[in-house]
A and B are shown apart, each in its own frame.
Chain A
Amino acid sequence: MKKIAAFALATSLLLGVTACSSGDSTKTTVKDDTITLAVWGSSPAETKGLETTVKSFEKSTGKNVKIEVIQDNFQDALTARFAAKNAPDVFYMESFAAPKFIKSGVLADISNDVKNQDDFYQPLLNSFKDKEGKLYAVPKDYSTLALYVNTDLLEKAGYTMADVPSDWEGLLNFSKTLQGKLTKDQAAMVFDTSMARHMSSLIASGLDPVTAEGKADFTSSPKALDYLQSLIDGHKEGYLKNAKIDLGVDWAGAAFGTNKAVMMIEGNWVLSALKTDYPTVKYEALEAPTVNGNKETMTFTVGYAISKDSKHKKTATEFINYMTGDGQKQWSELSGTFPTRQSVADAMKLDEDKVLKAHIEGAKYGTVWSSGVNLPVISGAFDNQFLAALNGDKTVNDAMKAAEKEANDEIARQE
């Protein structure tokens, strides 16, 4: 009886082993010049832009690219693929998550493979470098935040674009008066509660939330606390509303598009939704407001990275060079994203468009959303505790102290 059981177990193990090895052998038969590219699902315009640009690459080189779309939780899915030793050859890499992947040593060093690196906007390129200056991903596009104003609602309330202040304090006062002329389910301005949207404002208030040692710091600048307090006051009095919490819509763009918000500070990713989903909304865009007299905005960038264990490194390198070089103009034009090369930006004459200009200008002084390997922990603690301050459970000071401790304890545990 026991023998039989052992035999059964052995057979099953054997079957399993052969199953695995046969799986491997089919994989190596994939043609040598085919690479896999993992991307997240995005707007129809971006999807079309990617497919077309990839086709141009295939045509000009004769190599093949297999696009894999990961619809949800891209970073987590990618992490799982690495854990399973089944990583795609080339994949999107957010600047925010890049330091973690660089530290783990799973990305290929492409310092010497990317052509004409001086042409890139340097802050974008720098967010994909490690401490020694080695490059691990190459930026494909970027977004910055700008202030969007719904001109129909603004005019209905009796104002013009000239009345919209360009500094944060003025904007808050303006929102306060504006809110008096709106209905209860409308917001003068929608705001976001996450640190990703406010890091540049904190820096403009004299606080870098990530210290030189990579620890969290939320409390050393009273001005930064005042800034956070201004968000809380605005939310309490109702002229700042959160799209999800207060208006019950998925995101700020939907609130803006359905005339529930007069103003929002959002990235250029809203443009395609405004064009296709809410074509009747009239709007203009201004640069993000100054904080304490300093120009500020957040810059978000995504790059192409190559897996260190990729078997097709040569093709992969060729591909990312094409996508961020010869193919970048095509990609940017089709997808509506901003090119990361200065030469392409000049050729596309983006700053002639009034809305885009607000974003492009921001790239000159924007803070890139990336700050070392501990940023996810630090911003996670901030997001968690800032909500406590927002609903009045804690004072801003207490909440930020708690966030600082929460983050630094966790950082110590991870070391």
Chain B
Amino acid sequence: MGNKRYLNFQGYSFMMPALLAILFFTIVPVVYAFFMMFYKVDILSGARTFIGLDNFRKIFEDPKFWASFTNTFRYVLVVVPIQTMIAMALAALLNSKINFSRGFLMIMFIPTLTSSSAMTLIFMWLFNNNGLMANVIEQLFGTKVEFLTNPSLVLTVIMAMNIFSTVPHFMVVFLSGLQDIPESLYEAASLDGANSFKKFLHVTVPQLMPITFYVITMGLVGCFQIFDQAFILSGGTGGPQNSTLTFSLYIYQLAFTSNDMGRATALAFVLGTIIFAVTYIVNKLLKADEVNG
């Protein structure tokens, strides 16, 4: 018994640095936020008054909240499936024995290494009304497409940007999963007369399920929290017409521009709940527990 206690103590003391970091930088802020969301908080002076659930009433009445809600969901629904599929397809392609696959891998990984702010500035340069994309489209089709000022297109630019920059990362994750699939499964499929597309569909995809679940979850969480691209592209305003206003950007605006920390934490709680719920549903749908054994 004494020995066990000693072992426990040893274990905890080894974990102490990590536990401390988690306690102070995750648990304490979460608990504090949970407490703040029932107050009206002036972030500058720290003065607060209890207002119960009024912050939530304000949030649900706010058209900006619903704008950020729609934007973020649209963003997630487009980006997550596309980035997962492209990453998987590219990984399968690179895993087959094509020449220079290492070189391709290196080049394709560059977007992930580029900082998202630099990437945003490059995309803003490409897509501005007199930029490369707008001019090419104008020369080919004769119509002027204004990517950055048209509210229905500007989010698409951010989507493209995010897919472009996250696909390589997830591709590498898939690639490592692919290398774990035993060759014998493919041999057996070949004996049964499957062509390479069928092999991909019936061997690769199911075998990759645990990895896919990881990629989708990380993609979901990342997409729900999208902030920097929208912040830089709109200069922090979420415009034009709230079309780049995402949850995180709105939380930031509430805290720092509106000086209303209570409402910001309440919205952060709403976002947390949404991410939790969506991840749970995806978990159930993909039956990740069973796949992971």
Contact = CB atoms under 8 A, between A and B. Distances in A.
Interface of A: 1, 4-5, 8-9, 11-12, 15-16, 73, 75-76, 79-80, 82-83, 85, 100-101, 104-106, 184-185, 244-248, 376-377, 380, 383-385, 387-388, 390-391, 393, 406, 409-410, 413-414
B58 interface: yes
A246 B128 contact: yes
B239 interface: yes
A414 B258 contact: yes
A413 B65 CA distance: 13
B8 interface: yes
Contacts of B259: 79, 100, 104, 414
A206 B9 CA distance: 75
A39 B132 CA distance: 37
B12 interface: yes
B235 to A, nearest CB: 9
Contacts of A105: 45, 47
Contacts of B5: 4
A384 B45 contact: no
B77 interface: no
A228 to B, nearest CB: 15
B24 interface: yes
A333 to B, nearest CB: 33
Given A104-B44, A248-B131, A380-B237, A16 B20 contact: yes
B257 interface: yes
Interface string B123-155: 011001111000000000000001011110000
B20 A15 contact: yes
Interface in B14-31: 16, 19-20, 23-24
Given A82-B43, A248-B125, A384 B238 contact: yes
A384 B241 contact: yes
Nearest to B24: A16
B256 interface: yes
Interface in B236-255: 236-242
Interface of B: 5, 8-9, 12-13, 16, 19-20, 23-24, 42-47, 58, 61-64, 124-125, 128-131, 146, 148-151, 236-242, 256-261, 263
15 contacts: A4-B9, A8-B12, A12-B19, A12-B23, A76-B256, A83-B43, A104-B45, A248-B130, A248-B131, A377-B257, A377-B258, A384-B238, A388-B240, A391-B146, A410-B64
Contact of A79 (B242, B256, B263): B256
B239 A387 contact: yes
A390 B149 contact: yes
Contacts of B257: 376-377, 380
A168 B130 CA distance: 26
A104 B47 CA distance: 8
- Nearest 4 pairs of A and B residues by beta carbon: A387-B240, A104-B44, A248-B128, A384-B239
A55 B241 CA distance: 47
B70 to A, nearest CB: 16
A415 to B, nearest CB: 10
Nearest to A415: B40
Contact of A8 (B19, B46, B261, B263): B19
Nearest to B17: A12
A414 B151 CA distance: 27
B16 A100 contact: no
Contacts of A1: 8
Given A4-B8, A12-B20, A384-B240, A410 B44 contact: no
Contacts of A101: 44
A410 B258 contact: yes
A388 B58 contact: no
A80 B256 CA distance: 8
Contacts of B149: 245, 387, 390-391
Nearest to B9: A4
Nearest to A4: B8
Contacts of A390: 149
A11 B257 CA distance: 39
Nearest to B5: A4
